[in-house]
Structure formats: C-alpha cells, structure tokens
Structure 1
Amino acid sequence: MITITLMGQLQTTDGERDLACELPTPVTVRQVIQRQGRGLRHMLQLLREKKVLVTINKRIASEDSLVQDGDAVRFVGHDGAGGSGLAPSF
C-alpha cells in the first residue's frame, strides 16, 4: 500500500487530502494518478504546467518516477503567484 498526500491548496474533486492505494507492482507516478480516476486526474495537468511538486519518500520525483509498495507520495501545490488555479475543475 502507498499513501498519497495532497498539500497546500490541493485536494481531490471530493475534497480529500489523504489517500491510500494498493500497488501489486511498481508503477509510475502518472499511473498512480490515473488509477485514482477522476478524483486526481487534474493533477497530471498541474504537473505538466509545473504547478505541482511531487515527492516520493521526501525525494523530488517526476511523473515518470517509479512508486512501489510502502512509498509515501506527496503532491505539493504551488503556482508561483500565490493565487488559486490549483483546485480541481468540475
């Protein structure tokens, strides 16, 4: 099982900030996001726009980094201007 934490202004479309996910084999951060479905889908766009920093076990990672059982994944929201733009669109 991995833990996913959304920090700053980030949250799922349901307003959650802490999630858990079972991983039978190592997958990329992108695949973790895709497996979470609609709730985290907006995170991919934010990663591409460089508005989110992702870490795995407190080390900076990318959407192509591998995540494995027992890892802690954190998404830290930042937009450089202190404004919004990080909330999921419905």
Structure 2
Amino acid sequence: MNLKPLQDRVLIKRLETEQTTASGIIIPDSAQEKPMKGEVVAAGPGKDNAPMTVKAGDVVLFAKYAGNELKIDADEFIIMREDEILAIVE
C-alpha cells in the first residue's frame, strides 16, 4: 500500500526500544513504554507555502501522545502534524 500524507502531515514508523537495561536486566513487554523516537516514512508537501522541515528517512523525536496511530497490513505507524515533532536526531 502506498500512502502519501497531505499538507503538513508526516507518516512515522516507531523505532524499537532497548529490550535490556544498562546492567543487563531484561525488560518484559508489559513494562516497556512506547518509544518516542521514529523514522519519517513519508511527508506531505507543506502548508500555506511553508515547505516541510523533515523528509523521508529523518529520525525524529515526538511527544508520547502525539499523532494518531494506524495499522497498515502488519506495520504500525503514527501520522501527525509536523509541528508535533520535537526534534530531528542527527
């Protein structure tokens, strides 16, 4: 399926979190929080003649409850407005 966000929306795939702590303790799935870091899969063209700051392939940080979650086939994504992204990881 090909999905193209509109206006200033961005499609993000969450990146996996660490399964163990620094001391080697394994964290069970039920105790893990959803990661707030993801990779931009697709970005819209922008809104009101303002070009997008992020592009496909960028790794970004976002707020815990930002955007809307959606499932396409077996993959889970988040679609959010560009202004909900907190930072680009370089």
Normalising by structure 2, we get a TM-score of 0.30
Which has more radius of gyration?
2
Higher helix fraction: Structure 1 or Structure 2?
1
Report 1 or 2 for greater relative contact order, CA contacts < 8 Å, sequence distance ≥ 6.
Answer: 1
Higher strand fraction: Structure 1 or Structure 2?
2
Normalising by structure 1, we get a TM-score of 0.30
